[in-house]
């Protein structure tokens, strides 16, 4: 068993939101295999990459980022079965506790995308 410490901060100005936004949360996650260290690959337009096959009940913590900085390439986040529920544009990222029973697949759109990702399974 190992530990991953996660921390999210989201900030915004009072001028934009009526009151300053200052969210900060962190958590120590107890994780185990299967896991994947911080990795990168190129995802082609229309190409699919199943990061997590649909499997047993549980949670896999997924970090995924569109590492492009310009251009029209985006990543569609889907269940392993192809249900699409999110789009990651240039430079954006997500921290997603994936329901392992439905898994996760990425599909490229618009242009080739450099995908950065990592995941760890909850103990």
Partner 1 sequence: MGQLTSRLTLTGSSADYGAAVALSTTKLLSVQKPFIGLSKEVVTTTGANHIILPNLDARRFVYVKHTGLDSTGAATIADLHVETYTDNTGSDQAIMILKTGEFAFFPFDNGLADPANGDDDNKLQLQATSGTIVAEYSYYTVAS
91 binds partner 1 (CB under 8 A): yes
How crowded is the C-beta side of 110, counted as CA atoms within 13 Å? Answer: 15
Strand 104-109: give its sheet, edge to edge: 48-52, 104-109, 74-78, 84-88
48 binds partner 1 (CB under 8 A): no
33 binds partner 1 (CB under 8 A): no
The four Cα atoms 3, 37, 107, 87 give a dihedral, to 10 degrees, of 50
123 binds partner 1 (CB under 8 A): no
- Cβ proximity to partner 1, 49 vs 59, nearer residue: 59
Which of 25, 33, 46, 56 is in the footprint of partner 1 by CB under 8 A? 25
Q: Is 122 exposed, middle or buried (0-12, 13-18, 19+ CB in 10 A)?
A: middle
Which of 36, 45, 99, 110 is in the footprint of partner 1 by CB under 8 A? 99
55 binds partner 1 (CB under 8 A): no
First-to-last CA distance in the chain? Answer: 7
User: Footprint of partner 1 on this chain (CB under 8 A)?
Assistant: 2-13, 15-19, 21, 23, 25, 27, 29, 37-38, 58-59, 63, 65, 76-77, 79, 83-89, 91-99, 101-102, 118, 122
């Amino acid at each position: 068993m190992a530990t991953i410490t996660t921390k999210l901060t989201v900030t915004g100005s009072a001028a934009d939101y009526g009151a300053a936004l200052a969210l900060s949360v962190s958590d120590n996650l107890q994780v185990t295999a299967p896991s994947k260290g911080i990795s990168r690959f190129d995802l082609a337009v229309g190409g699919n990459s199943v990061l997590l096959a649909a499997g047993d009940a549980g949670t896999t913590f997924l970090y995924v980022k569109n590492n492009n900085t310009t251009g029209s390439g985006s990543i569609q986040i889907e269940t392993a079965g192809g249900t699409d529920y999110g789009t990651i544009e240039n430079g954006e990222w997500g921290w997603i506790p994936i329901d392992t029973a439905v898994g996760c697949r990425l599909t490229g759109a618009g242009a080739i995308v450099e995908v950065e990702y990592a995941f760890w399974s909850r103990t």
